[in-house]
Structure 1
Amino acid sequence: MIDAHVALMMLGIFIMLVFLGFPVAFTLMALGIGFGYYAYFDAGRMWRAFNRLAEDSDSLTSAMTWVEGAFNNRIFDLFVNQTYTVMSNEVLTAVPLFLFMGYIVERANIVNRLFSTLNVAAKNVPGSLGVAALVTCALFATATGIVGAVVTLMGMLALPAMLKARYDKSFAAGIICAGGTLGILIPPSIMLIVYAAASGVSIVRLYAGALLPGLTLVGLYLLYVVGRAMLQPKSAPRPTSDEIPDVALPKVLWLLATSFFPLAFLILAVLGSILFGLATPTEAASIGALGGMVLAAAYRALTFDRLRESVYLTVRTSAMVCWLFVGSYTFSSVFSYLGGEHVIAEFVGGLDLTPLQFLLLAQLIIFLLGWPLEWSEIIIIFVPIFLPLLPLFGIDPLFFGILVALNLQTSFLTPPMAMSAYYLKGVAPPGLLLTDIFKGILPFLLMVVVSMVLMYSFPQIVFHLPDLFYGAR
């Protein structure tokens, strides 16, 4: 068996173990070290150690010689170096700070206040509750980047309000599930930070490139919600004065000034400081974390228990991401050393694919991986397999990253493994069936597909802002 076959066997064992439910990070590390021991094994060094063991009669020295012979393998040096590299990665430093900002905002009752305000402000818009829920989801998802948290919280907050207002239950469920996934794409997205660390693409260019696609997707969602409310009024009835009383314009402006604008200003300050080069992503994330604490304090929601819980959740999620990177770097280094990357490149090159066909194939694989795996595992483990192939087809890794972010929206929204649907089902009233949620998700899934077609057809949607701000590629 040649080394390339060993590499493919290594990949196959990993996929099998993941589907069996083994922890992904530790599986990567175990396989990387195990197969790396074989890859970097030096028989001559081992033989010399055993010769010294045979010549030395001292038991302690013999034991030390045995340990030296068994563990004198470059895979252990590689593992330590990869761990240090990940922990000192300046791009990844922004992840815990953005996470902390999101968890603080989530626990500060800001979303409740925001949804109530937007509900009043959009009263005269068709599908006003749906529009308010979608905009709240978009802002909240952008601030947190945590799909499960957004869908769950909005499911408890907005779904009962829409059902009480006689909204079609499938329609209401689809709005929350689709809106809750927007944080994957819209900056400051944590997913894009992780992709930047994995691919070496500039995070500021990624953020600039994701802005227009993200706004395009939100616009398509809003068009669908308003259009359906106009064409099918029974699916989204207009609220009565008893349900939402008329509020004078000065009062509406005050509500917006105390709920919508503070969170929007925080997000724009963080994003703007990155895009205009006023701060690095880590510095901007620090501003966001401090701003989240200031907002929570201003709303009198910054308690010690909430602060402690936010810190704990931040540390837990950050540790998961970092150890995934350590495992992935170790695994991919050994996989490449054994020749697995070369075999895959030769195989794909032999298919004689056009750039469009390669993109479609890659996106299909990522879409299927999105059913059993989290986005972090896909970005850290599987996307790097495709990155070396991009130059063969002349594909910009920035464009590829934005398409992956859009694609992961579909993974969260496609039955029967639509994770956002299961998040919502966990907090939904008993009368809302999983089939109802799936039915409501499908039109929004179509909007994601439309947005991906637009990106394929008009790549300048992705490249316009990066080229405008930072020069042509």
Structure 2
Amino acid sequence: MTDPQIAIMMLSLFIVLVLLGFPIAFTLLAMGVGFGYYAYYQGLPDSFAGIFDNNIFYLLNQNTYSVMENDTLVAIPLFLFMGYVVERANIVDRLFFSLYMAARNLPGSLAIAALLTCAVFSTASGIVGAVVTLMGLLAYPAMANANYDKSFASGVICAGGTLGILIPPSIMLIVYAAIAELSPLRLYAAAVFPGLLLAGLYIVYVMIRAMLNPSIAPKPRQEDIPPPSKIYLDLLISFVPLTILIMLVLGSILGGLATPAEAAAMGALGGLVLAAIYRSLTWQKVKESVFLTAKATAMVCWLFVGSWTFASVFSFLGGHDVIEHWFLAMNLEPWQFLILAQLIIFLLGWPLEWSEILIIFVPIFLPMLDTFGVNPYFFAMLVALNLQTSFLTPPMAMSAYYLKGVLKNKIELMEIFRGLMPYLGIVIFCMVLMYQFPGIALWFPDYLFGEYIP
């Protein structure tokens, strides 16, 4: 076999192993080292110690050091810590109730409140599993008690919970910035309007569906609605402080007052202050937040080390060249390249999560953007929207499994899948809108930082 053929076999074997359930980070690492040992092999060693005289081990060491010294990635543990602290500060239940009361006169008011709570909380957290799980415990029982349709209610929670990987400050965009060597500030600015657009389309869909079929989302009883003074008080107590924290973090980044890492540090401190204000700052909760942050950060770091090692060996063997030549041989127009690339990413969302797609497969397309004259920030936003589908597409729709895990026998998995389907269509529609009107993604960063020049 030639080296490029071995590279393609390497990629195919990785997909098979992931589908079999092997841990992604360590699968990448093992395959990178294993195939890299072959790629950099220099003959039989003179001694047992000489077995380790192979450049793959030097590459692994350098990649590990590069990840650890990457300033951009410092924001990840700080944003994670902010999210975990906010999650444990008992803010979300107050937030959901107050938003429900504020939206009480709208069709599907509970579903709208759930979407808005997901958007706000996921912005502060950025952890899809945490948002879907918490909202499954909080919002789903409220909708079930109000006789909402099971599929309708579950679809709202699963779709709303994924917004955190798109709406800034997003951990996914930090990872993308590190992979593509783009400015995280520009990426955050580019994601503002696509994120708001997608959330807005979700809300419009919920309202239209509730108006066309009121039986799936009954209106609240008048006796259950508190007086306006209590509603305003709840909004002031729950919605305003968290929103101010998010706006300060995001505003300091977009305004150039702080780097993402510095803003994340402010957010982490702000989360502790909010927890103290709500009298939820206990040693046990802080310890849990630190432990979960360390665990998630370690996995992200190993993902980067493994993926960079895997990608380096894949490229050294000629894998990237094979794929690039395949694309170029089709003589595609830029719009055809974009559609094909996004279709591949969409199909990969069926068996894989966003992290594998982003770290392994997106870098394959990045070198071709200049060839086809595609703005890398515009491509990044198409990918960011597309990656929403990796949480919503069966059979691996992780948001569905997160919700099923907390609801257990209260709902069947197929009911959740049925509830997800309309939101997949909305994501695709949003991508089409952004393709037709690139200014949705590009106007704001160009306004803040000037027109992008490659």
Asked whether the two chains share a fold, i.e. TM above 0.5, the reply is yes
1:140 corresponding residue in structure 2: 121
Residue number among 234, 239, 243 corresponding to 2:215 in the alignment? 234
Other structure's SS at 2:406 match: coil
Whether 1:248 aligns to 2:228 is yes
1:61 corresponding residue in structure 2: none
Residues 179-328 of structure 1: pairs in structure 2 closer than 5 A: 179-245=160-226, 247-249=227-229, 251-328=230-307
CA gap 1:262/1:339 in 2 versus in 1, 3 angstroms? same
Question: After superposition, what is the alpha-carbon deviation per residue over 1:351-373, rounded to whole angstroms, capped at 9, x for unaligned?
Answer: 22222222222222222222332
C-alpha deviation, 1:431, in angstroms: 4.4
Other structure's SS at 2:350 match: coil
Other structure's SS at 1:142 match: helix
Residue number among 65, 90, 104 corresponding to 2:85 in the alignment? 104
Residue number among 87, 96, 104 corresponding to 1:123 in the alignment? 104
CA distance in 2, matches of 1:70, 1:335: 22
Other structure's SS at 1:427 match: helix
Question: After superposition, what is the alpha-carbon deviation per residue over 1:253-273, rounded to whole angstroms, capped at 9, x for unaligned?
Answer: 221111001111111111110
CA distance in 1, matches of 2:401, 2:421: 15
Whether 1:353 aligns to 2:332 is yes
Residue number among 34, 59, 62 corresponding to 1:81 in the alignment? 62
Question: After superposition, what is the alpha-carbon deviation per residue over 1:298-348, rounded to whole angstroms, capped at 9, x for unaligned?
Answer: 111111111111111111111111111101111111111222111111111
1:335 corresponding residue in structure 2: 314
Matched residues, number: 452
C-alpha deviation, 1:68, in angstroms: 4.7
Residue number among 433, 436, 439 corresponding to 2:418 in the alignment? 439
C-alpha deviation, 1:414, in angstroms: 2.4
Other structure's SS at 1:123 match: coil
CA distance in 2, matches of 1:78, 1:414: 36
CA gap 1:68/1:438 in 2 versus in 1, 3 angstroms? closer
What amino acid is aligned across from residue 449 of structure 1 in structure 2?
A: I
Whether 1:386 aligns to 2:365 is yes
- State the superposition RMSD in angstroms: 1.6
Other structure's SS at 1:126 match: coil
CA distance in 1, matches of 2:18, 2:401: 20
CA distance in 2, matches of 1:189, 1:262: 19
2:95 corresponding residue in structure 1: 114
Whether 1:7 aligns to 2:7 is yes
Other structure's SS at 1:279 match: coil
CA distance in 1, matches of 2:27, 2:393: 27
What amino acid is aligned across from residue 265 of structure 1 in structure 2?
A: I
C-alpha deviation, 1:30, in angstroms: 1.7
8 Å contact 2:352–2:396 — kept in the other structure? no
8 Å contact 2:82–2:124 — kept in the other structure? yes
Question: After superposition, what is the alpha-carbon deviation per residue over 1:63-86, rounded to whole angstroms, capped at 9, x for unaligned?
Answer: xxx245322222211111110001
CA gap 1:393/1:265 in 2 versus in 1, 3 angstroms? same
CA distance in 1, matches of 2:255, 2:444: 11
- Unpaired runs of 5+ residues, structure 1, are 51-65
1:37 corresponding residue in structure 2: 37
Question: After superposition, what is the alpha-carbon deviation per residue over 1:406-439, rounded to whole angstroms, capped at 9, x for unaligned?
Answer: 1121222223432212221222273432232222
Residues 167-182 of structure 1: pairs in structure 2 closer than 5 A: 167-182=148-163
1:374 corresponding residue in structure 2: 353
8 Å contact 2:350–2:394 — kept in the other structure? no
Question: After superposition, what is the alpha-carbon deviation per residue over 1:23-72, rounded to whole angstroms, capped at 9, x for unaligned?
Answer: 221222222222222222234xx6xx73xxxxxxxxxxxxxxx2453222
What amino acid is aligned across from residue 279 of structure 1 in structure 2?
A: A
CA distance in 1, matches of 2:386, 2:232: 37
CA gap 1:169/1:5 in 2 versus in 1, 3 angstroms? closer
C-alpha deviation, 1:114, in angstroms: 0.6
CA distance in 2, matches of 1:238, 1:377: 42
C-alpha deviation, 1:129, in angstroms: 1.2
2:446 corresponding residue in structure 1: 467
What amino acid is aligned across from residue 228 of structure 2 in structure 1?
A: A
What amino acid is aligned across from residue 363 of structure 2 in structure 1?
A: P
Residues 2-81 of structure 1: pairs in structure 2 closer than 5 A: 2-43=2-43, 50=46, 66-81=47-62
More displaced 10-residue stretch of structure 1: 166-175 or 188-197: 166-175
More displaced 10-residue stretch of structure 1: 133-142 or 442-451: 442-451
CA gap 1:430/1:358 in 2 versus in 1, 3 angstroms? same
What amino acid is aligned across from residue 10 of structure 1 in structure 2?
A: M
Other structure's SS at 1:129 match: helix
